[in-house]
Every structure is written in structure tokens, then in C-alpha cells.
Amino acid sequence: MKPFFVQIKCELGRAYDVANQIADAEIASEIYSIAGQYDLLLKIYLDSEEDIGHFVNEKIQKFDGIKDTYTIITHRVF
């Protein structure tokens, strides 16, 4: 399993709604409310052969209330 992170920018006033939609879909290991340029931070694990781009496009960006995403691909944990 390889971990990666997705930061999500939501429409104004929709961060908690988006977080609840994602939590209900059970696609993220952890969901954080964050401050700054983005509203939410997701930690996700995928099998090594799965395509991260397709996953983000098909499983995350589909939720109502999301304006933008920023994906962080990880290489190694210390």
C-alpha cells in the first residue's frame, strides 16, 4: 500500500459537508480540517498498482462542494 495526501479547497461554507460526504464514502484513511489555502487534508492508501490520478479524478473530485484539489505523492516514510 502506498500513501498519498490530497488537499481540498471547498466552496465557502461547505468544508464540513464535503468532509462528511468523503467520510461516508470510506475512501480516506484520515480526514483533517486545516487552515490556510485549502480546507481539508485527506490521507489515502492505495495498492501500488492503482493509478492515483484516476482515483483522485473518479473518487474524490466528484463530491459536490469541491472547488480544487492538490495531490501530494509520497515516496518514503521515516
For the cut 90, the answer to whether the pLDDT of residue 12 exceeds it is yes
Is 14 a member of any domain?
Answer: yes
Give this prediction's pTM. Answer: 0.94
Q: Is residue 39 part of a domain?
A: yes
C-alpha cell at 2: 502506498
Once rounded to an integer, what is the mean pLDDT over residues 21-49?
Answer: 97
Region class of 26: left (phi > 0), else alpha (psi between -120 and 50), else beta: left
Residue 78 within any structural domain of the chain: no
Q: Is 36 a member of any domain? A: yes
Give domain status of residue 56, yes or no. Answer: yes
Q: Assess if residue 8 is contained within a domain.
A: yes
Q: 63: domain CATH number?
A: 3.30.70.920
Show the domain range for 10.
2-73
pLDDT band for position 63 (cuts 50, 70, 90): very high
pLDDT greater than 90 at residue 77: no
Q: Is residue 32 part of a domain?
A: yes
